[in-house]
């Protein structure tokens, strides 16, 4: 086995830890949006999830071209979240306008949701359902690449080909 320095990134336990966090975050957002779509009261956890979701969208919507974004460095651990969210958006048949989505989230968080906002919230929920699915696919691929989780994986894969 190649012993480059440093080692493979995906083997780093921090990657697995981050993937668990993304799974939870994606479902928190799905839950919060589901409650909004059904006009149910939001919990404190829902509000935190939507605020984090808004920060994520704001980061994607930024048009600033610079390396120096100190406010964003605290989101460094979220680099993977950004990548998965972006991939989920690119996989959608049409992409929503990020700025308008942030406005809808602001209204939702301020208790000012309008009937016309529901469609956009529904689209956002679809995107976060995709985030979960993509994250799961990525974790499954890593497992099979590492070959440590299941010795059956290569055998099953070859039997399918």
Residues that bind another protein (CB under 8 A): 1, 3-9, 11-14, 16-24, 26-27, 30-31, 34-35, 37-38, 40, 48, 60, 62-63, 65-70, 73, 76-77, 79, 82-83, 86, 90, 95, 125, 128-129, 132-133, 135-136, 139-140, 142-143, 146, 148-149
Nearer to another protein, 9 or 161 (CB): 9
Q: How far is CA 6 from the centre of its chain?
A: 27
Nearer to another protein, 28 or 109 (CB): 28
Give CA angle at 93 (90, 99), nearest 5°.
60
Classify the C-alpha dihedral 17-22-27-28 as positive or negative: positive
Please choose, from the candidates 113, 149, 125, 97, the residue with its C-alpha nearest in 3D space to the C-alpha of residue 34: 125
Specify the residue for token string 């529904």: 122
Nearer to another protein, 112 or 145 (CB): 145
* Sequence-ordered list of residues with C-beta below 8 angstroms from that of 36, at least 6 positions apart, any chain: 42, 108, 113, 121
Q: How far is the CB of 133 from another protein (least distance, A)?
A: 6
Nearer to another protein, 4 or 160 (CB): 4
SS3 1: coil
Look up residue 111 and give its DSSP letter. T
Q: How far is the CB of 102 from another protein (least distance, A)?
A: 15
Please choose, from the candidates 156, 135, 134, the residue with its C-alpha nearest in 3D space to the C-alpha of residue 144: 156
Q: How far is the CB of 6 from another protein (least distance, A)?
A: 5
Q: How far is the CB of 30 from another protein (least distance, A)?
A: 4
Q: How far is the CB of 80 from another protein (least distance, A)?
A: 10
């Amino acid at each position: 086995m190649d012993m480059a320095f440093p080692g493979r990134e995906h083997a780093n336990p921090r990657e697995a830890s981050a993937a668990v966090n993304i799974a939870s975050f994606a479902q928190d957002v799905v839950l919060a949006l589901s409650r909004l779509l059904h006009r149910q009261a939001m919990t404190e956890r829902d509000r935190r999830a939507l605020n984090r979701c808004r920060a994520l969208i704001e980061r994607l919507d930024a048009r600033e071209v610079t390396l120096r974004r100190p406010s964003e460095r605290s989101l460094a651990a979220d680099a993977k979240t950004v990548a998965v969210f972006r991939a989920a958006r690119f996989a959608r048949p049409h992409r929503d306008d990020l700025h308008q989505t942030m406005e809808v989230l602001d209204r939702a968080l301020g208790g000012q949701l309008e009937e016309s906002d529901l469609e956009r919230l529904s689209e956002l929920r679809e995107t976060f359902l995709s985030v979960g699915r993509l994250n799961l696919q990525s974790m499954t691929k890593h497992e099979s690449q590492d070959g440590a989780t299941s010795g059956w994986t290569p055998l099953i894969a070859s039997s399918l080909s």
